[in-house]
Amino acid sequence: MKPLCSAATIFIAVSLFCATPSNAATPADFAQWQQLITDTTKALRANQLPDAIHLCEQALTLSTTFGPTNTAYSRTQVLRAEVYLWENKKDLAEQTFKQAVASCEKAAGTNSVEVVHPLSSLANFYYFVTRQYDRVTPIFERILNIVQADPKRTDRDVIMWSRNLGMIYQQTGNYAKAEPMFKRAVALAEKDAEWFPHELLNAADFYRAWGKYDQAETLAQRALAIREKAMTADNSDSQLDTAVCLNGLGAIYLSWNKPDKAEAAYRRSLEITRKFMSADEADLIPALQGLASALQAQRQLEQAAPLYQRALIIAEKNSGPNDPQVATLLANYATVLKGMGKADDAKRMLDRADSIRQQTTRTE
């Protein structure tokens, strides 16, 4: 079953592992390199850092023998930078990501689609690790230009990178530049039945963030209508797609100060998700949290409290007790408890939320 994700989560894509052997690389050497890359990734996932470092260094050495036009060395540099991140060596990681871009440009050309892989990896670093969104923007602009010029591009490639660039413009407060990116993504996706509702929701969330609620509502309702039309009783994915749209619509109504409409959307979403999810699955959290917020906004605190509590239990089980989402839920729950006259309980929740946030800040 696919995850019930928010439609408006930024998606910074890294291209698939698609390096090919050159004339200088024998099939056996190339196969060995691929195996080293696979083994390095497995070692990282198993938290076997010394093994990962050793394997990656072997892959780097081998990739230098593949000839000047092969991008295997660049791709291995990207992996080495990721290993540096596991070592908490952020400066070395940044330097290595940049070196991967430079070596790929040298091997394939500055405007080759191959350069998208190290560029997007560098963008990931700035976005997720250092939170330097202003440094992501020119990288995404360059990637979009490269993708648009690629004769083998698909509409989905252009849609994805237009949307990504729009989200970065939004993140940096440049809504006027973001709007045409989202409009373009929607227009290109209109003939793509699978992607179209998703892009409508992305654009709806953008307009919600911009405070243009009429436009946001129109787009979200259009996405919902498409999903409802495709919904069948025996297809869980089609119903969960509808729930995603309802969550998006509920978020718009909450921002628009229409909590009664938000409540209706979240109640329906929760009804759908409960049919297909176990009681402790993380995909229940958006509807639980949204419904709790809608009830809280209507001063129905006794009804909101158990929903926050349930969402909190699920988040702790799935993400751990120190996850930022847990901190957000604790703070919201504390507000409800305080409104119910439970000041001591509210303080305990807030103290714990503050502790999680401080810990998160220290580890960034």
Question: CA 353 → CA 237, 308, 358, distances in Å?
Answer: 34, 14, 9
**Which pLDDT does position 59 carry in this prediction?**
97
Burial class (CB in 10 A: 0-12, 13-18, 19+), 332: buried
Taking only the tens place, the pLDDT of each residue in 82-118 is 999 999 999 999 999 999 999 999 999 999 999 999 9
Q: Give the 3-state secondary structure of residue 110.
A: coil
Rg (the chain; Cα; Å): 23
**Which pLDDT does position 141 carry in this prediction?**
98
For the entire predicted model, the pTM comes to 0.89
Taking only the tens place, the pLDDT of each residue in 317-335 is 999 999 999 999 999 999 9
Eight-state DSSP code of residue 133: H
**Which pLDDT does position 258 carry in this prediction?**
98
Q: What is the mean pLDDT of the chain?
A: 92
**Which pLDDT does position 361 carry in this prediction?**
66
Q: Report, as ranges of residue numbers, the positions in the chain whose pLDDT lies below 70.
A: 1-24, 361-364
Burial class (CB in 10 A: 0-12, 13-18, 19+), 152: exposed
* Domain boundaries defined on the chain: 1-146
Q: How far is Cα 236 from Cα 246, in angstroms, rounded to an integer? A: 15
Q: How far is Cα 283 from Cα 5, in angstroms, rounded to an integer? A: 7
**Which pLDDT does position 16 carry in this prediction?**
36
> The domain 1-146 is classified under which CATH number: 3.20.20.70, 1.10.3720.10, 1.20.900.10, 1.25.40.10?
1.25.40.10
